[in-house]
Amino acid sequence: MNMQPPSPFAAGPAQTQVAFDRRELSVILGVYGRMVAAGEWRDYGISNLTDVAVFSVFRRTAEHPLYRIEKRPRLRGRQGMYAVVGMDGRILKRGHDLKSVLRVLERKLIRVVNPD
């Protein structure tokens, strides 16, 4: 009898990952490009996990993210699956429409460009 534990590389039930689709990435990268042009952001990272997809925005590569744009499909029927989370972990905006959720970042861009 073989009593070895199963290999972590053995074929098993495939876990699906949550990811941003092309349309969502286009919207996010549009905001990202404007913030880079304004000199506010310099780097980003994307994480595709089993329950959430995260687009993290950095001022410098070695720092903690300034903002996290999250997609949580499990919250689709509740508050909305998109959220912008600040550096301190507070949810700045949550909703069903990605463009409207990202407007919280656009307001910050307007303040940077027109600091009146």
**Residue of 104, 53, 96 whose CA lies nearest to 78:** 96
Q: Is the pLDDT of residue 1 over 60?
A: no
State the maximum Cα–Cα separation within the chain, in Å, rounded to a whole number: 77
Q: What is the pLDDT of residues 21-34, one digit of tens each?
A: 999 999 999 999 99
Strand arrangement, sheet containing 82-86: 43-48, 53-58, 67-71, 82-86, 91-95
Q: Is the pLDDT of residue 102 over 90?
A: yes
33: Cβ contacts below 8 Å, ≥ 6 apart: none
DSSP state of 113: H
Give the domain ranges of the chain: 22-113
pLDDT of residue 48: 92
CA 99 – CA 48 distance, rounded (Å): 20
**Reported pTM:** 0.77
